Structure 1
Amino acid sequence: MAWEEEAFVEAGERLRALLKEVKRVIVGQDRLLERMLVALLAQGHLLIEGVPGLAKTLAVKTLARAVGGSFRRIQFTPDLVPADLLGTRIYNPKEGEFKTELGPIFAHLLLADEINRAPAKVQSALLEAMQERQVTLGKETYPLPKPFLVLATQNPIESEGTYPLPEAQLDRFLLKVVVDYPAFHEELRMVERMTAGEEIRVEEVLPLEDLLDLIRLTERVYVHPKVAEHAVALVQATRDLAGVGLKELKPYVAFGASPRASLALVQGAKALALVRGRAHALPEDVRDLYPDALRHRLVLSYQALAEGVRVEEILEAVLQRLPPPFVPLHDPYGDTRSPLGPPGA
């Protein structure tokens, strides 16, 4: 199969046009919007952490409108039950049979607002949908729509009445993005829009069928063996900090990242490469996604919590210790192994 670089360049232009349309509504939050696209193209899920009022809900809703997909928002509360999320079977006495009512989870983009407020039963029900992309009601299994993306938010301030997400569920999220407060000029722009009553209508710039084509194109992005090796080395370093010369940080990490982190890094790097209009992933793509792909997968020790050591500090130290590899465009032995495709493409 011939690899056409023009297709990847055109895909990057379309994805940047999509981001531009979303940014007509969302002021700032460039990193969050880019990570949302990465999760969508890599068919992963996104965990968003930030205080209330940072336009997390609006960003998801705007993206859904721009791609012509369905959007549902579920406010997670302690009294939520799995049927409120998945749906249930209802008995119809007139017809004498059960009828299945599908829940709000059957949407292309699902916003799980304050996911850590839901009890364990609801979280486990969501876990099946995230991992298997299907829902089981009674004896029947219903596939979820394609694409299916869960964007879950959690408030880092409040802890009362919350249920911390188990590590198994955290590991299912491709990325975790921490949303910070906007800059002065960004917040001023928000205030100006509100006082002027400015309302912006989002246009559909990327139909759902075209988005599915881009998801398939993401799978064709080439990953050089050295790029994959770098991703695995960065992940394994969290399990053996002493082995990479970071012995002083070892007491702070109780458990390092699982192999699922390596997969997330490579899948995310392929999606990020496509967003940036490239047919090949670079070590810089892996390193750019490293904090977002790893921050929710490390389990810090009590000593780290007591001394106020943040997971980002540990990840930054690993990045400094393991520099990016040199990725040649051609094999030194004369093999035409190009980042644009496999040998002989």
Structure 2
Amino acid sequence: MSSANFQSIPTLDYSLATSNPESRLKFISQLRTVLVNVGFLYLSNTPVDKGLIYKLKHDYVPRLFGLPQGDKDQISMANSPHFLGYSRMGMELTKGEVDWREQFDFGTGFEGERPLKEGDPEYWNVYGPSQYPSEDQLPGFKALFEAYLAQVSALASDFLRLVSDALGLPPDTLDQFYRTNDRMHLSKIIKYPVQQESRQGVGAHYDGAMLTFLLQASEEHRGLQAQNLRGEWIDVPPKSDTFVINFGRSLEFVTQGVVRATSHRVLAPPLDSKTPRYSIPFFYSGMDLEVRVDGSALKMPPEILKLRDERGVLPETESINYPEYAHDVAGKVYLLGRAKSHPDVAERHYPDVFKELFPNGMPLHGVAY
């Protein structure tokens, strides 16, 4: 059994889960250990089209960031009440330090705006259409990336059922948080440049989504690290033909702390690097906006709770812990998290939330974590 003070990240073979009952049981047993003790894994042999991945990594992503600054600014996130679009370098802070990354945020599932009526909660507006470069600016990118997102979303949905199974629950248990058609999962395409100010690409944090599927798109660059129970930073280097999966605070909350949300960070490429690091996380974040994940929704099997207790209490860290899950619905938690990270969007589209979070006015940076 893997130690909670892991020194490396295990690799699970997805084909075991789809082959035969015996190999599936082996996969479920491995996944249970990772869920409780590690919170991070590599997933190999997935059905996501390798051709799509290759074109995305080697063609479109470098060209996306190579667009003229004016073209990128045309789709600035500040335009979008859904927190989707382009963010310039160094716009966010983690633990008081600048995150040296440039990024585009994209959502799934929406082509047009969803009409809201008077009295609807403002967090109902967090889901909506993405902003893409025009076909003239980057021909074929939108179609290819949406095809990629559709495949990763389907894989994440199937994987969530495997998580339920590994926790001793009926396979469709966690589907209850994703029942409505009005939902949006979030993805980012991130560039971590070689720069001299700091090694912080993004500081230590937890994810909020139940699942994160990360495509490390620069195989020559290390940088991602996960934190074990002793507080040690363990490298999660790029590994060909895999996704890195980690589990977020919402899954930790809803499983009464059984599933381990693991603190992680990204170091920027060192000064002797010749190229930036590119990264494409997909967050299976689109829960129904009115659901709660405060730990009371699921009845966990005693034998699974025993595994949690044998592991021991997870340490406190300086990472964000999404405490709002204890008393707010998922839509409100999502809105607050995004508004903290992107106060310029909040000021323009959610002025009341902005005043609540930033009573002294616009900060110099978003406070991501």
TM-score, normalising length: structure 1? 0.24
- Point out the structure with max Rg over C-alpha: 1
Q: Which structure dedicates a bigger proportion of its chain to helix?
A: 1
Q: Which structure dedicates a bigger proportion of its chain to strand?
A: 2
